[in-house]
Amino acid sequence: MTKLSVVIPVYNEEATVEALLGRVAQAPVQEGVDLEIVVVNDASTDGTRAKLQEMQTAGDLEFSLFQHEVNQGKGAALRTGFAQVTGDIVLVQDADLEYHPREYPRLLQPILDGEADVVYGSRFGGGPQRVMFFWHYVGNRMLTLLSNMFTDLNLSDMETCYKVFKREVLDNLELQSNRFAIEPEITAKIAKQKVRIFEIPVSYYGRTYAEGKKIGWKDGVAAIWAIVRYNLWS
């Protein structure tokens, strides 16, 4: 039996978190794969905390819940979740419904086949996606290009949510970033481990700022600094 731990950082996702957890619990993972769900609420200011506590009390879905009393960012929430997992494979899942858990079997297969240590789910690999912001697309591709120049990888989507790790790879990552700079930090530190990385096309259902999108230009600037910092000095 192989255990898959899904780590879900959550911040102000009252409108989506229940549906997302339902999708994760019903993900069509391969036979012989057991599922562990670890949710980290990063001090949400809407009704997310109450919604999660209500769901946990109801007992319809089994998941572990950890609470930050002060908002720290996605990176900090992931570190909290990573410290709690017990699985052989660890997968990162956002709570905003932009990425669908039906992709799990395709993301897991290279690791289960013994061909990969890490798998990235690429939004730019030809999978179906909602047509969204041009400049977000340009920004993502530029950040990935810059990251690839430092890491000597040929990723198409460094900023993707879907990152899947063998447990031993994750245990060797000493992560520091608190916010969205966690993505280039993870990539830089994985590249230094010289592990086998696969990329799998995934579907993507991006949302607008009115629908709750949180990433802005300041996060792009922080990502540039993180690419330089974690590749050269960490």
Three-state SS sequence of 69-128: CCCCCHHHHHHHHHCCCCCCEEEECCCCCCCCHHHHHHHHHHHHCCCCCEEEEECCCCCC
The secondary element (H helix, E strand) that includes residue 33 is strand 33-42
Q: Please measure the distance between the N-terminal and C-terminal CA atoms of the chain and give it in whole angstroms.
A: 36
Residue 206's pLDDT is what? 74
The domain of 174 spans 2-232
Residue 67's pLDDT is what? 97
Residue 24's pLDDT is what? 98
Residue 56's pLDDT is what? 93
Residue 137's pLDDT is what? 76
Residue 64's pLDDT is what? 97
Half-sphere exposure of 74 (CA within 13 A, CB side): 20
In this structure, which amino acid lies at residue 103? E
Question: Which phi and psi angles does 103 have, rounded to 5°?
Answer: -80, -10
Residue 217's pLDDT is what? 64
Residue 150's pLDDT is what? 96
Tokens 């879907």, located at residue: 162
User: What ranges in the chain are assigned the alpha helix state H?
Assistant: 17-25, 48-58, 74-82, 104-112, 134-151, 167-171, 182-193, 217-232
Rounded to two decimals, what is the model's pTM? 0.93
Number of domains in the chain: 1
Tokens 């109450």, located at residue: 50
Q: What is the CATH number of the domain that holds 18?
A: 3.90.550.10
Q: Which residues contact 41 (CB under 8 A, 6 or more apart)?
A: 10, 11, 48, 49, 52, 65, 66, 67, 68
Q: Length of the chain, please? A: 234
pLDDT along the chain (234 residues), means of 10: 97 95 97 97 96 92 96 96 97 95 97 98 76 72 95 96 97 92 96 96 76 65 89 84
Burial per residue of 134-166, b for 16 or more beta-carbon CB atoms within 10 angstroms, e otherwise: eebeebbeebbebbbebbebebbbbbbbbbbbb
Cα gap 36→5, rounded to integer Å:
5
